[in-house]
Structure 1
Amino acid sequence: MRILHAKTPVFAAAAVLLVSLTGCAGIADTASSAASSAASQVADGAKKELIKTVCSPIKDGTINAGDLKVLNSMVDAVRNGGLPKEIVSALDDVAAAGDNVPADAQARLVTACDNALNS
């Protein structure tokens, strides 16, 4: 009987250790999930800010020479920023047009901005 009593604390300690390790793994998973969620929210926030920055020069529906200069400076950031393809494509067309941006290219960029900002 003494042998059984001597092993009881060992089994109890093993059970406590097992519960602790399982709890730690759960905590680690929760922490990892929270960190991933936070990083995703930061990335989404950064995309929204980039969209606002790209769209602000054209919010009046026109593109003047100053707006065009600002938009041309953002082309690479927009391509690499993970923005909606609609904005990237429209901005590429505006930038490629040079000083004479066609009205349909302007309209596409305005529409792409409206769609992105309202989604």
Structure 2
Amino acid sequence: MAGHRIYGTAFADVYPHYVAKAERKGRTKAEVDEIIRWLTGYSEEQLGGTIETRVDFEAFFRDAPLLQPKRSLITGVVCGIRVEEIQEPLMQEIRYLDKLVDELAKGKAMEKILRA
């Protein structure tokens, strides 16, 4: 596996951190799941399956049923890097997800997060 070590990290290892970040700011696990499903096209059952089978981030995004066409509207900075300028496609997908969770934790309305 070439690339960043996060690519081989199980999505299930990072998912609880997304949920905890949101819950610390008064948001819910259901909202985190809604964001993930919006971004990837996974159903609730499929998302649970990816967590249960511990797929890595590379497989999580590669096998996503339908990556959200509006995801290119996600802009801003995550870890000091503008997500819209990331050249590596998989890293950009991961950072899109990070940015959406950040927006949720900062209290942004779901309609705006989901680019409705």
Q: Where on the TM-score scale, by shorter chain, does this alignment land: which range?
A: under 0.3
Bigger-Rg structure (1/2): 1
TM-score, normalised with respect to structure 1: 0.27
Higher helix share: 1
TM-score, normalised with respect to structure 2: 0.28
Q: Which is bigger in relative contact order (C-alpha 8 A, separation at least 6)?
A: 2
